[in-house]
Structure 1
Amino acid sequence: MASRRRHPHRRKTWDTNDSTILIRVGSRRHPQRFNEISVSGPRDAPRFARLVDDQVRAYPRDPLVIAINGYQPWLEEVLATCIEDYWSDISDLDREVQFAGTMQFPERASKRGQNVPWTFISDHMNVPQVYYWSVGMEPPIGEDSSLPSMDHYRFRVGAWECGKSACKFDREVPVVIIFTKPTPVSEHVVTQLMFDYLWRDGDFDQPREDEEGICWLYSRLYWLLTDWQNIISEIVIRLDEAEENSHGRHLTVKLRTRMLHREVDRLYELKEYLHFQTRSFKKLQKLKEDVPKREQKDPLWGDMDDAVEDLEQYDSTLDSLKERFNNLIELEFNITNAVQSDSSSFLTTIATLFLPISYLASLFGMTTITWPIEWYLWAAIPISILSVAFALLFPWTVQQIQRRLYPVESLRIQLQPRNFTMLGDELPANVDVPGGNRDGKVKRKASRPAGMDGTRSRSRVREKFDDD
């Protein structure tokens, strides 16, 4: 990792043979919750095998969790010393983790044999500032629209759920391999958060089938790294800022509209990632049918149901926020049209005032007509008064005519009591139900007086108690 930082212009990591990869093997006994070694080639394979052997002997029932912060072609030889050879697609998997721009749904990495591993690549989503603040770094600088790049929202993780029979030292130990990028944020998540989060999980030690293992791993990484509530809170803050700019007219109309369009585009991008996570959870839920009946009561399945419900709620919330942004865009256009209409009305009023005077001046300016100049004054004064009166009275006259022809009261909706449910009723009066009266209300049984059924009411008991 250090070598990559010192030489940023090198070729991609899978083409080099001298890059160093850090491998962490989870351990509850270690103060950091994991043991770490750095490997730079196949010659380091025995060291890795000894570390895994020590971990399996110390905790024979714990799943073997291995975190790797990169990929090299020789990495398969290192892992093969203690993990069963399921490496048919490891190269493509890790190249996707490091460099690809698409996401993949959890799927089987190999078709050989029954005990095949499961692989998935997922983009976890959170506010970029949360990622960078957690490692003591400054967040990325925003663009001209103050929106960070979508890459900063993503936390790409590739996982390999090998399940049982993969560990050569103990076939009953499930194996989980997690791949991340060698970035500061990823390193902080792996070294400071992930292992401790898994150890504190009360269901970590529970034995599971391979189908349950992939669901458990996917859901735990989701709960750790993804927080759509943070993203929604960030969008709400930007929405409030956009509304303030729109109402206060702090920026130009073009700039405000451009920023709003970028916000809407960002919402569409975020919804694509949210839909991917929703589809992944729903497809993984179908694996419940493949596990024994006694294991279908595992709380894991309830956690996945909760995740799907939350994602659907987040999707609905993003839709409402997108609608509010679109309403602001429409408001900007409406305000612009209203301003233009006011300007046109002002110009019309000015034309109404000065056009008759200008026309009169053009008549007196003709060389073929020799009218006295006094006549212009006698004609201009009344025409100016008529123009001012017309400009003031014409809009009011039109408004009065419209009120008489189209009264507002006749256009209002008159609410009728029968359309609503009165206090104490279960249905509105216009609902026709069997056993209802003429008004449509359900007939209620007459209440019997207290004491008619041989029992005493509370008031009688209280009176007798007071007499005693």
Structure 2
Amino acid sequence: MASRRRHLRRRKSWDLGDSPIYLRVGSRRSPRRFHEISVSGPRDAPRFARLIEDQVHAFPRDPLIISINGYQPWLEEILGSCIEDYWSHISDLDREVQYAGTMQFPERASKRGQDVPWTFILDHMNVPQVYYWSVGMDPPEWENFGLPEIDHYRFRVGAWVCGRGACRFDREVPVAIIFTKPTPVSEHVVTETMFGFLYRDGDFDQPREDEEGICWLFSRLYWLLTDWQNIISEIATRLQEAEANSHGRHLPVKTRTRLLHSEVDRMYELKEYLHHHTRAFKKLQKLKLDVPKTEQKDPLWGDMDDAVEDLEQLDSTLDSLKERFNNLIELEFNIQNAVQSDNSQFLTTIATLFLPVSYLASVFGITTITWKAIWYLWAAIPVVFVSILFTLLFPWSVRQVQKRLYPVEELRIQLQPRSFTMLGDELPENVNIPGGNRQGKVKQKAQRPAGMDGARSRSRSRVQSEKIDDEG
């Protein structure tokens, strides 16, 4: 009862806004590439404003990157001390990152104002262990048997981006606010990886329009936190394991089929996130039309095109892996049916052997017939012998009849050379092989008129005679 009261008290303190939130502001002068403060209420707004002001004055041309790892109702007052949010409430986006189950495509937060910010919520996907290995942590043991929960694959990030006009201290400084959940792995990734990755980017300081800013941040966070190739490799590894279990019959058939169905269900879930990533990139590609033509040569747009092509290729690869898992499921059912068929055939063979003897025993068991017992032995021995011969010879006879009635050789299709392209015939028509005698696409030498050949021979003879006269 006391533990329940403490749980309710903690939950109530969360609702009242007593839990602290860590705010990190990117800075190149910091050894960890960011400055961190902990805020627990609106009274900490001046400290956060001073940190932003120092950052802007120290690096006036650097984009302002802020990371927030939680939500509280008073967070809007903290951000409002240095970020002018007259388009929409930034805290609403933060609350959706923490509690909402849906993702949001990159979109404008509001239509008001000359400089409109952009927002998005994305679930980045990667192998769960990679998030821990990348920051030197040991991944936890998954509680469920088999596959980890889909939540372990996700790394939810929300972003609020405004190219100009948001910072109260300098209206020309671009502002990007990144929201994450206060989980241990998120904290390690943000503090150990994210800021350094963004600052190492050579295009970090390049001035951009709002459309380019959202594309840059979206793509960089995607390449940092999402790696579908890792997931494909993990699925391929599990496919090899499933094939080994299926061929070696290491697990019961019910366990194998359940595991295979779990794999297929997981791939359907992953494809939903993959399709969302693809649609998000395609939506960002359309922003290129809003950028002046002089700036459309930015390599960023080429990277966006490459990302879309890679996602479509990964989608095809995931479909092929899913099909192979489905083939394994079908194989399991086919094998099970074959085993049942073999068992039925064995029972049929036993019945063929002992049914005549049983029938003979029933005949001798009739009470109205008074035959000697030795007669049953004389009748049973030849009946058993005939049953054995029939059991052995009948399947062989059926196979021989089938071979004569339906010969396999007559059903084979004879390949014809004209149906295929010979080696060298795929050369273009303008290729001329010296001494080539192949008919087809290889160009043959054109036949010259007889008069021209005679003229060439006479001119060659005249030149040779002149050389002889000169030597004489």
- Fold conserved between structures, TM > 0.5: yes
- C-alpha distance in structure 1 between counterparts of 2:7 and 2:68, whole Å: 20
Q: Aligned ranges for residues 300-319 of structure 1 at < 5 Å?
A: 300-319=300-319
**CA distance change for structure 1 residues 14 and 158 in 2, over 3 Å: closer, same or farther?**
farther
Determine whether 1:91 maps to 2:88: no
The structure with the largest alpha-carbon Rg is 2
Query: How far apart, in 2, do the equivalents of 1:147 and 1:445 lie?
Result: 64
C-alpha contact 2:21 2:70 (8 A) present in aligned 1 = yes
CA distance in 1, matches of 2:309, 2:61: 33
- Would the aligned equivalents of 1:135 and 1:184 in 2 still touch at CA under 8 Å? no
- The aligned counterpart of 1:419 is 419
State the SS of the aligned residue for 2:239.
helix
Spell out, residue by residue over 1:154-182, the C-alpha distance to the aligned partner (whole angstroms, 9 max, x if none): 00000000221111111111000001111
One-letter amino acid of the counterpart of residue 401, structure 2: I
Q: Distance in 1 between matches of 2:12 and 2:386?
A: 83
Residue 86 (structure 1) shift: 3.3
Contact persistence 2:76–2:89 (CA under 8 A): no
Aligned residues: 435
Which aligned segments of 4 or more residues in structure 1 are displaced greater than 6 angstroms?
A: 6-9
SS at match of 1:300: helix
Instruction: Please state whether the residue corresponding to 2:10 is helix, strand or coil.
Output: coil
| Secondary structure in 2 matching 1:161 | strand
Q: 1:416 Cα shift?
A: 1.3
Q: How does 1:28-427 map to 2 (within 5 A)?
A: 28-86=28-86, 88-142=88-142, 144-426=144-426
What whole-Å deviation, never above 9, does each CA across 1:339-359 have from its counterpart, x for those lacking one?
Answer: 111111111000000000000
1:88·1:110 contact (CA, 8 Å) conserved in 2? Answer: yes
| Greater share of helix | 2
Superposed displacement of residue 78, structure 1: 1.3
1:353–1:391: 8 Å Cα contact kept in structure 2?
A: yes
Contact 2:125 2:227 in 1 (8 A): yes
Taking structure 1 as reference, are residues 288 and 271 closer, same or farther at Cα in structure 2, changes over 3 Å only? same
Contact 2:118 2:160 in 1 (8 A): yes
- Counterpart CA distance in 1 for 2:210 and 2:63 is 12
Question: Which residue of structure 2 aligns with residue 435 of structure 1?
Answer: none
- TM-superposed deviation, 1:80: 1.2
Q: CA deviation at 1:385?
A: 1.1
Quick one: structure 1 residues 254 and 12, their matched pair in 2 at CA, closer, same or farther if it must change by over 3 Å? farther
Residue matched to 1:445: 444
- Superposition deviation, residue 136 in structure 1: 4.5
**What is the SS of the residue equivalent to 2:315?**
helix
Deviates more, 1:10-19 or 1:163-172: 10-19
Matched residues in 1 for 2:70 and 2:96: separation?
Answer: 11
Q: Deviations over 1:137-196 (max 9, x none)?
A: 443433554110000000000000022111111111100000111111111111111111
Q: CA–CA distance in 2 between the matches of 1:277 and 1:196?
A: 24
Q: SS at the partner of 2:187?
A: helix
Q: 1:212 to 1:448 in 2, by over 3 A?
A: farther
Residue by residue over 1:40-65, the C-alpha shift from the partner in whole angstroms, topping out at 9 and shown as x without a partner, is 11111111111111111111111111
Q: Does the aligned pair in 1 maintain the 2:52–2:82 contact within 8 Å? A: yes
Contact 1:140 1:148 in 2 (8 A): no
Any idea what the Cα deviations from partners look like across 1:91-110, whole Å, max 9, x if unmatched? 33112111222111111112
Range with greater deviation from structure 2 (83-92 or 181-190): 83-92
Q: Distance in 1 between matches of 2:165 and 2:273?
A: 34
Residue 41 to residue 155, structure 1, CA distance change in 2 (3 Å): same
1:420-459 CA deviation, whole Å, 9 max, x = no partner? 10011029xxxxxxxxxxx99346231899xx9xxxxxxx
Query: For the residues of structure 2 that align with 1:8 and 1:173, how far apart are their CA atoms?
Result: 43
User: Is this contact kept in 1: 2:87–2:117, CA < 8 A?
Assistant: no
SS in 1 for 2:11: coil
1:81-131 Cα deviation digits (max 9, x unpaired): 211123624333112111222111111112211211110000000111111
Contact 1:105 1:121 survives alignment (8 Å): yes
Look up the equivalent residue of 1:268 and give its one-letter code. Y
**More moved, 258-267 vs 185-194:** 185-194
AA partner of residue 171 (structure 1): R
Deviations 1:196-253 (A, max 9, x none): 1111100001110000000000000000000111111111111111111111111111
User: Are the aligned partners of 2:56 and 2:170 in contact in 1 as well (CA < 8 Å)?
Assistant: yes
- Compute the TM-score of the two structures, normalised by the length of structure 2: 0.88
Distance 1:13 1:222, change over 3 A: farther
| Paired residues of 1:65 and 1:176 also in contact (CA < 8 A) | yes
Residues 137 and 16 from structure 1, CA distance in 2 versus in 1: closer, same or farther, beyond 3 angstroms? Answer: farther
2:27/2:34 contact within 8 Å kept: yes
Residue type at the aligned position of 1:66? I
Residue pair 1:24, 1:37 contacting (<8 A) in 2 also: yes
Letter of the 1:263 partner, please give it.
E
Which secondary structure does the structure 2 equivalent of 1:146 belong to? coil
Q: Aligned pair in 2 of structure 1 residues 303, 149: CA closer, same or farther (>3 Å)?
A: same
Unpaired runs of 5+ in structure 1?
A: 1-5, 428-438, 453-468
- Seen in structure 2, the aligned counterparts of structure 1 residues 276 and 320 have a Cα distance that, compared at 3 Å, is same
Secondary structure, aligned partner of 1:10: helix
Pair 61,13 (structure 1): closer, same or farther in 2 beyond 3 Å: farther
Q: Which deviates further from its counterpart, 81-90 or 23-32?
A: 81-90
Counterpart of 1:456? none
Once the two structures are superposed, residues 400-436 of structure 1 have per-residue CA deviations (whole angstroms, 9 ceiling, x without a partner) of: 1111111111222221111110011029xxxxxxxxx
Cα distance in 2 for partners of 1:235, 1:297 equals 38
Deviates more, 1:98-107 or 1:118-127: 98-107
